[in-house]
Amino acid sequence: MIIVAIDEINFKKASNIIDNLDSEKCMVKIGSISFNSIGSEIISYAYKKGFDIFLDLKLNDIPNTVKKSIVGLASYPIKMLTIHTSGGKEMMTAAMEAVSGTNIKIYGVTVLTSLSNNDTKEIFQRSTSEQVSAMLDLAESAGIDGVVCSPHELELVSKRKSLLSITPGIRLKNLHDDQKRVMTPKEAINLGADYLVIGRPITSAHNISETLNKIFQSIQ
């Protein structure tokens, strides 16, 4: 399944992107850029247009704060929500408790796709694969629904049958911008990705609808 990232602070621009998408071929992702400026308005608009919504806020705080935050966010018509796995098992468990009785799925961010292996070693004192593996252990033990990881860690996730994967860092060609660990849609699907997050390659395209359709067809 394709998830199109809506990263606009202007409602007109964001709604125009949504108008050119097909709810049969993708979900939409509302991240902190849009949520902090046009949050409830754009979520309501996407929902009324028939889209499933992935709210990507990457929550990371003490367990009680995260739990209460999610209880509040659960009032929105969302299907998926992100937290950081580095917040620890107790925080992830609290997140799952907050969505009990709802249809909202919790996904934990492992290592941001903007980080290179050298960055990961500098921050966590271990390689990207070692850090992701450690976060996968925590995610499994906490019982969350899935994780967010780059395409390059999909093989690690595929060994964890209880976890679904959301994969950002998707580019139509292997171009590197502010994302360091990238891959094409077909390559990621072949490695077992459940959801592909694609932003600028679709939203900045001359023809958004045509670009989405081409990507959709390429991964069937």
Active site positions, annotated: 58
Q: Locate all alpha helices (DSSP H) within the chain, ordered by sequence.
A: 11-19, 32-48, 63-73, 89-98, 117-124, 128-142, 154-158, 185-190, 200-203, 208-218
- Is-contact 138 88, C-beta < 8 A? yes
**Strand 146-148 versus strand 164-167 pairing type:** parallel
The 8-class DSSP code of residue 85 comes to: G
Nearest to 168 by CA among 144, 202, 124: 202
